Amino acid sequence: QIHISPDAEALGDALAQRIVAAVQANPTAVIGLATGSSPVAAYRAWGRIATSLGLDQNRVRGFALDEYIGLEAGHPESYHSVIQRDVVEVVGLDPHLVHVPNGNGEPGEAEAYDRAIREAGGIDVQILGIGRNGHLGFNEPGTAFDSRTHVVDLTAETIADNARFFASSAEVPTTAITQGLGTIFEARELVVIATGSAKAAAVAAALEGPCTEELPASLLQRHPNVHWFIDEDAASLLS
Ligand code: F6R
């Protein structure tokens, strides 16, 4: 399903409603959490709606999509910090139930993360943003559709895109650990948010182009339960 709106706030609200519905249906729901700019409004809306409903979220569990390798967990731009600041605190989750892959590059971490997701019963709703190059998580073009959580080299484009969060692009880590495309695909529901004209080509290719590993988000064409939330700029190249 594709939801298009001129208003990014309204998209965030609509996405948040799906998460809240999942938590209402199952108070121990497992939510997959993206970082980046795209879902920020949705996290705010989720927190607002949950508060207004008096929703008990004490048992909601979360798994972040990815983490940089080589940043201290306490670095303000590590995804440990971002998830704590922009998700756990904003939404009102128990930090002990929200997991972020360990970015220390230790062997076995990727397998352990996949195992933890499996042991939690899998992800009920996975929130996703999309990169300008069509990446999902940090799965860059060319990543196998059946990949599991793994360590990746970031592309120059992704490093340039993420430089806005750092003092300079030289400070952006060059490697990361990410849920694999196969891991992401196993979520029972996927909600994708994309705003702005910079995402238009990737959105059009993901929805209307060939399903190819050269465009990771095109994998979503094969998933039975995907909801896209896109503003008119990001939708501008759809036919
Ligand atoms: C974030 C992530 C990335 C972003 C994507 C879009 O955890 O894995 O795939 O979702 O790069 O980033 P923004 O939303 O900042 O445009």
Strands 150-153 vs 175-178: parallel, antiparallel or unpaired: antiparallel
Residue 153's pLDDT is what? 96
CB 161 within 8 A of CB 231: no
Looking at residues 91-116, what average pLDDT do you find? 96
Q: Which residue's alpha carbon is nearest to atom 15 within ligand 1? A: 36
Residue 95's pLDDT is what? 98
Q: Measure 177 CA to ligand 1 centroid, in angstroms.
A: 14
Looking at residues 43-47, what average pLDDT do you find? 98
Q: Check whether 64 has a pLDDT greater than 90.
A: yes
Q: What is the CATH number of the domain that holds 222?
A: 3.40.50.1360
Residue 26's pLDDT is what? 98
| Any domain includes 237 | no
List % helix, strand, coil for the chain (3-state, nearest 5). Answer: 40, 20, 40
DSSP code of 219? G
Q: Find out whether the beta carbon of 103 lies less than 6 Å from any atom of ligand 1.
A: no
- CA nearest to 79, candidates 63, 94, 88, 68: 68
| Any domain includes 161 | yes
Residue 97's pLDDT is what? 98
Range of the domain at 151: 2-231
| Any domain includes 67 | yes
Q: Measure 156 CA to ligand 1 centroid, in angstroms.
A: 15
Q: How confident is the model at residue 105 (pLDDT cuts 50, 70, 90)?
A: confident
Q: Measure 35 CA to ligand 1 centroid, in angstroms.
A: 6
Reported for 118-122, long-range contacts at CB under 8 A and 24+ positions apart, including other chains, are: 120/30, 120/61, 120/63, 121/30, 122/30, 122/186, 122/187, 122/188
| Any domain includes 236 | no
| Any domain includes 209 | yes
| Any domain includes 125 | yes
Q: Measure 161 CA to ligand 1 centroid, in angstroms.
A: 9
Q: Find out whether the beta carbon of 135 lies less than 6 Å from any atom of ligand 1.
A: yes
The count of structural domains within the chain is 1
ipTM for the whole predicted complex goes beyond 0.95? yes
| Any domain includes 238 | no
| Any domain includes 199 | yes
Q: Which residue's alpha carbon is nearest to atom 11 within ligand 1? A: 131
Q: Find out whether the beta carbon of 155 lies less than 6 Å from any atom of ligand 1.
A: no
Q: Check whether 142 has a pLDDT greater than 90.
A: yes
